Amino acid sequence: MMTSIYIIISILVLILCYLRWKFTYWQRRGVKQVTEQFIFSKKSLGESILIRYKEGKAMKVKYLGAYLFHVPSLLPIDPGLIKDIMIRDFAYFQGHGTYHEPRDILTMNLFSLEGENWRHLRAKLTPTFTSGKMKMMFETLVEKTGGLEKVVGMYADSGKSCAIKDILGRFTTDIIGSCAFGIECNSLEDPETEFRVFGKKVFRFNALNFVNILVFPAWFLGSIGFKFNGHDVTDFFTKVVCDTISHREKNEVARNDFMHLLLELKNKDRSVTVNEIIAQCFVFFLAGFETSSTAMTFALFCLSQNQTVQQKLRDEINEVLQKHDGNISYEAVKEMKYLDMVVNETLRIYPPLPGIPRVCSKDYRIPGTDLVIEKGTRLQIPVWGLHMDPDYYPNPEVFNPENFNEENKAKRHEFTFLPFGEGPRMCIGLRFGLMQTKVGLISLIKNFRFTLNEKTKTPVEMERGSIVLSVKGDVWLDVQRI
């Protein structure tokens, strides 16, 4: 009995010694470091990245060592170094370092893949995201604003405050369900539709899953049937896509949506497989509904506290739409320069993805230094830190769309605004995301005036368990018809 206790104690001591040694990785390599764990922080991941960035700036270093669980992670602080990582020396940093395994279908998407697999898939999918293809889907977006206006109008007429985050999540779910799957989700009418329920489920933080992918190799997790998003989510999205493909091919259905473009690739030259279609539809759904609804939520949160900006935006919307016979058209949206500034300023203060992960694929010497980033080392591009840096944005806490007028943009380093990433791995769906965000805002600002309800606490608290920057709870707004 005592022997067993001694063995257990010895093992624990060895593990402790190993971890203490592990947490000196950056120190041993001459790099300033912090030891608080991102994954165990009391803050959200985005807030932790922002805090680390500020610490690095205070130390006046170009990069800062940190740790994700027991794994060393490097935070590049200098925009020039970030540009090297994302563009000039991209060959060394092609992957996001996120989990993917062929037996876990949903993980084999464009965001998670690396190397040649990513390169080939990116080349196949790029033609489906051109401005011409986005214009093709535009009418679907505009159609969905009718339901959005109806729901918000009910709150305006009743005098009750509305939970705008939930409403906008249902709005973008309906858009993506239609454009990615060709399915009418109707979550604006019924908040408990399957698409809405499973969509929210994916974004619930599961600490055990993150520990699993940090501790165990992907091949092992795949061999035991591990599903990062859960078996129920995997089964649901797999069935939806397969049923849609079967229905369209059997009945020769053609629609102006993402699914149709993927089926063309599959049937014309077999360059895309069914499993690839499943994975891409899944990530398109997630990226499209969550990030855009979050961006619109934060935009309305900011506008509700800045009535002068809100009115200026409304004036531009009305002026431009008047030239287009009152219709929200693709061309009209492109003409709205102030709307573009408002959206960019929202994405600056509240970037949906506050940090962009990368992994080093081969040893890389940081230019002008003796530090070699070893193969396999993780990096975290501190997007939110750059966006909130007073060296680049005076009074960064203040919502000021003029930060994005031509004069002010010209003053800044180009890599101090990265809401969609940059370089070859820049978000492939950014045009669509911006398009649906702008169409939603046009529809709402044109018809309603928003003010902040007292139920919304300021400053807002961020959802700790979300990778995407998101408000904890909801944002409550009071609404009046114009």
Give tens-digit pLDDT for 39-64: 455 778 889 899 999 999 999 999 99
Alpha helices, H only, 336-455: 337-349, 383-387, 406-411, 430-447
* Beta strand residue intervals within 244-375, DSSP E: 356-359, 364-365, 372-373
Query: Does residue 260 surpass a pLDDT of 60?
Result: yes
Which sign does the torsion angle of CA 197, 202, 203, 207 carry? Answer: positive
At 125, list the tokens. Answer: 């999918």
> What's the fold here for domain 31-481?
Cytochrome p450 (1.10.630)
Q: What is the pLDDT of residue 373?
A: 96
- Integer Cα distance of 333 and 145 in angstroms: 14
Poorest-confidence range of 163-167, 196-200, 231-235, 307-311? 196-200
At 36, the pLDDT band (50, 70, 90 cuts) reads: low
Query: Does residue 430 surpass a pLDDT of 70?
Result: yes
Alpha helices, H only, 42-130: 45-59, 79-83, 115-125
Mean pLDDT over all residues of the chain?
A: 90
Average pLDDT of 55-83?
A: 93
CA-closest candidate to residue 241, choices 288, 180, 199: 180
- Integer Cα distance of 23 and 34 in angstroms: 9
**Which position has the higher pLDDT, 371 or 40?**
371
At 288, the pLDDT band (50, 70, 90 cuts) reads: confident
Residue 411 CB-half CA count within 13 A? 11
Helix or strand run (H / E) with residue 480: strand 476-481
Q: What is the pLDDT of residue 320?
A: 98
* Beta strand residue intervals within 56-207, DSSP E: 63-68, 71-76, 162-163
Q: What is the pLDDT of residue 198?
A: 82
Query: Does residue 76 surpass a pLDDT of 70?
Result: yes
- Integer Cα distance of 188 and 289 in angstroms: 13
Q: What is the pLDDT of residue 41?
A: 59
Query: Does residue 256 surpass a pLDDT of 60?
Result: yes
Query: Does residue 466 surpass a pLDDT of 80?
Result: no
Q: What is the pLDDT of residue 279?
A: 92
What's the one-letter identity of residue 51? I
Query: Does residue 454 surpass a pLDDT of 90?
Result: yes
Query: Does residue 435 surpass a pLDDT of 90?
Result: yes
Q: What is the pLDDT of residue 15?
A: 79
DSSP assignment, residue 366? P
Average pLDDT of 433-454?
A: 96
For residues 258 and 179, the answer to whether their CB atoms sit within 8 Å is yes
The proportion of the chain whose per-residue pLDDT surpasses 90, expressed as a percent, equals: 59
Poorest-confidence range of 194-203, 297-306, 363-372? 194-203
Q: What is the pLDDT of residue 2?
A: 67
For residues 54 and 385, the answer to whether their CB atoms sit within 8 Å is yes
DSSP assignment, residue 37? E
Q: SS3 for 369?
A: coil
CA-closest candidate to residue 453, choices 151, 160, 152, 154: 160
Query: Does residue 199 surpass a pLDDT of 70?
Result: yes
What are the backbone dihedrals phi and psi of residue 458, each rounded to the nearest 5 degrees, phi first?
-125, 140
At 416, the pLDDT band (50, 70, 90 cuts) reads: very high
Q: SS3 for 4?
A: helix
* Number of helices (H), then strands (E), in the chain: 19, 10
In degrees, to the nearest 5, what angle opens at C-alpha 77 toward C-alphas 420 and 416? 40
Average pLDDT of 323-339?
A: 95
The proportion of the chain whose per-residue pLDDT surpasses 70, expressed as a percent, equals: 98
